[in-house]
Structure 1
Amino acid sequence: MAGHSQFKNIMHRKGRQDAVRSKMFSKLAREITVAAKTGMPDPDMNPRLRLAIQNAKAQSMPKDNIQRAINKAAGNDGENYEEVRYEGYGPGGVALIVEALTDNRNRTASNVRAAFTKAGGALGETGSVSFLWDRVGEIVYKPAAGDADAVMEAAIEAGADDVQSDEDGHVILCAFGDIGEVTSALEKALGEAESVKTIWKPQTNTHVDEDRARSILKLVATLEDDDDVQNVYANFEVDDETMAKLSAA
């Protein structure tokens, strides 16, 4: 399994829960507002907004917070967020993609560049590392959705490309353009998903040792702590022994 998803779980366990939750709600609200502004404020008529609301509910975001985020878009409150993608290399030659929603490109670019530089990495031009990744749809279900065989069968029927099941649940991957159809088919078979989103999936992962892994983890944490940053992807992996050490640290 790719290292970043594992490290993200470690960080959430170790982080101050209230602070982490507050920042997560802020990022979810920003995505809802942008989705509502770029399309219809009605989730039934706006697939991106529907997914944003679904993901917010999966994280137990209160209904009032969700509605306020939608109302901000309808009220034209003056906040115009722009979608920006940054690409670069971190410690050990690990490639990273950083997605942001910002109302100030200069501020966000400066913060992201500083994080890369401090970690001993380098921010590159758009396209400098994205060719190493595939843009795909990711649909996540909790373990209660069914056993691995049942979920696999449902995923195949829905037209998905891959399924990864473990004790934490089921991750279903599909082609970027098929995410709407696959999600709808899975809902009929398995119920509503825990989350539905598009992600960057690395074509290959770079194996790193404990020291490099710790450095990458710190860089990812710094980036994800920035209010403008929505998602961070890194193409690295570590062995189980190293993962156990980092989890216990």
Structure 2
Amino acid sequence: MAGHSKFKNIMRRKGAQDKKRASLFSKLSREITVAAKMGMPDPAMNARLRAAVIAARAGGMPKDNIERSIKKAEGSDGAIFEEIRYEGFGPGGVALIIETLTDNRNRTATNVRLAMSKNGGNLGAPGAVSHSFDRLGLISYPASAGDSDTLFEAALEAGAEDVQSSDEGHEIWTAQEALHEVARALEPVLGEAEGTKLAWRPQTMVAVEEGDAEQLFKLLDALDDDDDVQTVWGNYEVSDEVMEKLG
């Protein structure tokens, strides 16, 4: 299992589903509000907001919740969120990029540092690991969107740079400045994407053994439980055999 997407690698596990669902909705709502505040409150006129709404729909967020999140951006008395990126290392020496949206940077820094230190990780200085990742656009489609050949041909025609297909779905990679143009070109052919976002793709992967993998997943869970943390990207790769042992 490759480790570049928090939602792909953490949400696999059973447990407190209601808590996870509420936490996911909180993150999605925050992104919608920030996107609406930064641009037009109309998804058709605001590429980041459109991507946030699509992600919210894919996550099962009710329409009323989405509309309330957009309306929050119109008020002047709401919390002001800022985007802060943290970089560091997890168990097994894997590189992690942690993206947050926060209205209290001191709280977020403390919580992220605590999660890292308690679970075998450590924070680095800005730029400590991002040099080993490429900043790209990522468009995600479910496996039901079509076979790998169909997706590859459609993505190539739309101007994408790469396609990675698996039983879980399809990931279409673009230059970051071409993300929304490619996404719009694909929609008439493949339908609405599950997700459209800027992403960090690792240049090389690190194989993680069973002991480190177990500790790494605890760290990712701890970060995922923090409402300020939006996405965690990493260069870890866990074999199917290790995943089966960990359950």
Per the normalisation by structure 1, the TM-score is 0.94
Partner SS, residue 200 of structure 1: strand
- Specify the alignment match of 2:31 in structure 1: 31
What per-residue deviation string (whole Å, max 9, x for no partner) do you get for residues 176-216 of structure 1? 11101110111121111111111111111111210001111
Q: C-alpha separation between the residues in 2 aligned to 1:167 and 1:90?
A: 27
Kept after mapping to 2: 8 A contact 1:7/1:217: no
Give, in angstroms, the shift of residue 10 of structure 1: 5.6
Q: CA RMSD in A?
A: 1.6
- Specify the alignment match of 2:168 in structure 1: 168
- Specify the alignment match of 1:80 in structure 2: 80
Report the more deviating stretch, 237-246 or 86-95: 237-246
5+ residue gaps, structure 2, are none
Q: C-alpha separation between the residues in 2 aligned to 1:185 and 1:127?
A: 33
What per-residue deviation string (whole Å, max 9, x for no partner) do you get for residues 144-193 of structure 1? 21111111110110111111222222111111111011101111211111
Please state if 1:22 is matched with 2:22.
Answer: yes
- Specify the alignment match of 1:41 in structure 2: 41
- Specify the alignment match of 1:109 in structure 2: 109
Q: C-alpha separation between the residues in 2 aligned to 1:168 and 1:120?
A: 29
- Specify the alignment match of 1:93 in structure 2: 93
Q: C-alpha separation between the residues in 1 aligned to 2:114 and 2:10?
A: 24
Give, in angstroms, the shift of residue 21 of structure 1: 1.1
Kept after mapping to 2: 8 A contact 1:100/1:231: yes
User: Number of matched residues?
Assistant: 247
Give, in angstroms, the shift of residue 6 of structure 1: 8.8
Q: C-alpha separation between the residues in 1 aligned to 2:55 and 2:5?
A: 17
- Specify the alignment match of 1:211 in structure 2: 211
Q: Could you tell me which amino acid in structure 2 is paired with residue 116 of structure 1?
A: M
Please state if 1:67 is matched with 2:55.
Answer: no
Kept after mapping to 1: 8 A contact 2:208/2:237: yes
Please state if 1:139 is matched with 2:139.
Answer: yes
Indicate the structure with greater helix content: 1
Higher relative contact order, chain-length normalized (CA < 8 Å, sep 6+): 2
Q: C-alpha separation between the residues in 2 aligned to 1:189 and 1:242?
A: 38
Q: C-alpha separation between the residues in 2 aligned to 1:238 and 1:145?
A: 26
What per-residue deviation string (whole Å, max 9, x for no partner) do you get for residues 57-76 of structure 1? 11121111011111111012
Closer, same or farther: CA 117–70 of 1 in aligned 2, 3 Å: same
Q: Could you tell me which amino acid in structure 1 is paired with residue 229 of structure 2?
A: V
Q: Could you tell me which amino acid in structure 2 is paired with residue 193 of structure 1?
A: A
- Specify the alignment match of 1:120 in structure 2: 120
Identity rate of aligned residues, in percent?
61
Q: C-alpha separation between the residues in 2 aligned to 1:58 and 1:19?
A: 18
